[in-house]
């Protein structure tokens, strides 16, 4: 479970490789890190911050759920 959490966290922040593979087709294969960069290029700091906070909250919730699941699966001592 911890390995999954670490791989997921790494995958959420991936930027370069996904842009090359996905091709960055608007409204089809866009990724959130790319949207953040485009917002920053347009000087839309509030929009970039909003996307970043959303990504942070989703990652936090997933890590919290994994932690709760590990506690439930782990044998009692």
What does the domain layout of the chain look like in residue ranges? 2-73
What is the average pLDDT across 14-22?
69
| Cα distance between residue 16 and residue 31, in whole Å | 11
> Is residue 42's pLDDT more than 80?
yes
Residues 1-17: tens digit of each pLDDT = 778 877 877 777 676 67
Read off the pTM: 0.72
Which is nearest to 51 in space by CA: 40, 41, 61?
40
> Is residue 22's pLDDT more than 70?
no
pLDDT of residue 47: 96
pLDDT of residue 12: 72
Asked whether 62 and 5 are in contact (CB, 8 A), the reply is yes
């Amino acid at each position: 479970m911890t390995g999954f959490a670490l791989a997921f966290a790494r995958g959420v922040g991936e930027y370069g490789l996904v842009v090359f593979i996905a091709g960055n087709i608007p409204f089809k294969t866009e990724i959130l890190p790319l949207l953040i960069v485009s917002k920053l290029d347009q000087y839309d700091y509030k929009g970039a911050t909003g996307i970043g906070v959303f990504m942070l909250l989703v990652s936090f919730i997933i890590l919290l759920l994994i932690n709760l699941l590990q506690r439930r699966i782990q044998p009692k001592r």
